[in-house]
Chain A
Amino acid sequence: MAQLWSLMPQFWEGLRATLLLLAVSGGLALVLGTLITAMRISPVPVLRWFAAVWTEVARNTPLTLVFFFTAFVLPMLGFRAPFLLLAFVALTYYTSPFVAEALRSGINGVPVGQAEAARSIGLGFGQTVSLVVLPQAFRMTIPPLINVYIALTKNTSVAGGFFVVELFASTRQLVNDNGNIVIPILVLAAALYLAITVPLGLAAVQLEKRWVVSR
């Protein structure tokens, strides 16, 4: 397996890019998803409508086509940016409705009495949401949210077809160059992905047990 070992630098390069995609897109998607959720439950009908349409379209576009849009159409419109940035945009856009859904399921888990009590002591919409609802919703939200991030980890592999050399693209390159050890290379790639997703999954289970039961 000396040959496999000599390929590690390329694996690491790819893994680094994958982790970068995960971290940045994940963070941005969290922000965007929270925004969309807030718009969804806001008093302004236009915002509610926009959030609903955004969620619907984003959920129904396959990730590959989203990438086509950011990698090819955006530059046509004049948004010249490094492909890594365009990949962030694509993944953030694609993940945001799932984050919003996770947040909404958390908010739905908060008993209505909480919001009623908040209103009855005179808190406005913004205060109700930020001081009363979201902190309680947070606990319900974490397990589904972690699963959104597990999905995001795996979705980064699509970026490999669109000018970002992340783990999966590195894997395909290595497979082509080393036609004699195709299977071991794929096994190693799978292991690296699992090294990210399995701990996240276990964390989700642990958190769910701890927080849901304690209610």
Chain B
Amino acid sequence: MIRMRTSLIGLAAAGAIALAGCAGGSSTETTSPAAEEVTFDEGTTMAALNEAGKVTIGTKFDQPLFGLMGPSGVPEGFDVEIGKIIASNLGIAEEDIEWVETVSANREPFIENGQVDFVVATYTINDKRKEVVSFAGPYYMAGQSILVLADNEDITSEADLVGQPVCSVTGSTPAAKLEEIGATPVLTDTYSNCLEPLRNGTVVAVSTDNVILAGLAAQNEGEFKVVGEPFTSEPYGIGLALEDDEFRMWINDVLEASYEDGTYEAAWNETAGTVLPFVEPPAPDRY
């Protein structure tokens, strides 16, 4: 019942900018496995969630390709699919997942307070965060990259950004990185807002994770392009409670299993894969 409208528009690469609003019931069923009958050891988080029959997952609602909330009222994207894979392995049906928007300020507090069971929201693993939450995965290696106007030949790498105004999102890791490399960060709330300044020349580039940039470029056919190689490593992980090693190891097992049996690749192809090539997933870090 999920309208994969963004992926459809992305696919219509032949410059069909304006598709009629309602694409009609061409709903692409996602191939996350149906909730299985599983049992878990007593006292583990998995058992508790299975018992409850529902799970609360934190994700982003405004990241193209990874977590995007549309008119259907349910988010869509690769992070969302990963969340569904984990939920189905917990024996919880897709409809029983409660999606909560985790903006960057509240990811750690939400996990600590237990308001979400886990977070899968383009959540970069770093040591400071590991002090308060633990991470399963990484399940994807992104990297920070650069988006410019399609006819811009001057910027080819991050070295060209020094001293230039570059747009990113307030409170994000890429924004901090821009500060570090000597660019002038120009910050706003959503990636979509960055495009207008880029268009009228107020900023020379938009910089964030390459996958998001690719999504933005695809939404605006031919106007922008992603340049250069990713110049950071952003391992996306699944954030969960600090002490819950069992749950973490179990999620790592689920991730690895999904690499093997093709559900990971299928999830990718239905969401981010409409714009980006599939790459081999990284091995989970079991620390």
Judging by beta carbons under 8 Å apart, are B128 and A177 in contact? Answer: yes
- What's the least CB distance linking A170 to chain B, in Å? 9
Contact with A along B183-214 (1 / 0, CB 8 A): 00111110001001100111000000000000
Judging by beta carbons under 8 Å apart, are B133 and A179 in contact? Answer: yes
Judging by beta carbons under 8 Å apart, are A180 and B104 in contact? Answer: no
B-side contacts of A75, CB under 8 Å: 196-197, 200, 202
B-side contacts of A178, CB under 8 Å: 128
- What's the least CB distance linking B124 to chain A, in Å? 10
Do A177 and B173 contact each other (CB < 8 Å), given the known contacts A75-B197, A75-B200? yes
Measured in the bound complex, the distance between the Cα atoms of B171 and A177 in whole Å is 8
Interface class of chain B by DSSP: mixed
Judging by beta carbons under 8 Å apart, are A169 and B187 in contact? Answer: yes
Does A160 lie at the interface of the complex (its beta carbon under 8 Å from any beta carbon of B)?
yes
Does B15 lie at the interface of the complex (its beta carbon under 8 Å from any beta carbon of A)?
no
Measured in the bound complex, the distance between the Cα atoms of B18 and A161 in whole Å is 29
**Number of B interface residues in the complex (CB < 8 A):** 29
Contact with B along A164-176 (1 / 0, CB 8 A): 0100010011011
Measured in the bound complex, the distance between the Cα atoms of B133 and A175 in whole Å is 14
Judging by beta carbons under 8 Å apart, are B171 and A179 in contact? Answer: no
Q: Which segment, of B75-83, B105-113, B268-276, faces chain A?
A: B105-113
B-side contacts of A162, CB under 8 Å: 188-189, 193
Residues 90 to 104 of chain B near chain A (Cβ within 8 Å): 104
Does B286 lie at the interface of the complex (its beta carbon under 8 Å from any beta carbon of A)?
no
Interface class of chain A by DSSP: helix
A-side contacts of B197, CB under 8 Å: 75, 163
Does B132 lie at the interface of the complex (its beta carbon under 8 Å from any beta carbon of A)?
yes
Of A72, A80, A163, A165, most buried by chain B (CB within 10 Å of CB) is A163
B-side contacts of A180, CB under 8 Å: 108, 128-129, 131-132
Does A187 lie at the interface of the complex (its beta carbon under 8 Å from any beta carbon of B)?
no
Does A193 lie at the interface of the complex (its beta carbon under 8 Å from any beta carbon of B)?
no
Residues 183 to 203 of chain A near chain B (Cβ within 8 Å): 183
Contact with A along B139-180 (1 / 0, CB 8 A): 000000000000000000000000000010011110110000
In the complex, given contacts A72-B193, A163-B167, what are 11 additional A-B residue pairs having Cβ atoms less than 8 angstroms apart?
A: A71-B188, A71-B193, A162-B189, A165-B185, A169-B170, A172-B104, A173-B175, A178-B128, A179-B132, A179-B133, A182-B108
**Would you list 11 pairs from A and B whose C-beta atoms are within 8 A, ordered by A residue?**
A71-B188, A160-B187, A172-B104, A173-B176, A176-B105, A176-B173, A177-B128, A178-B128, A179-B132, A182-B105, A182-B109
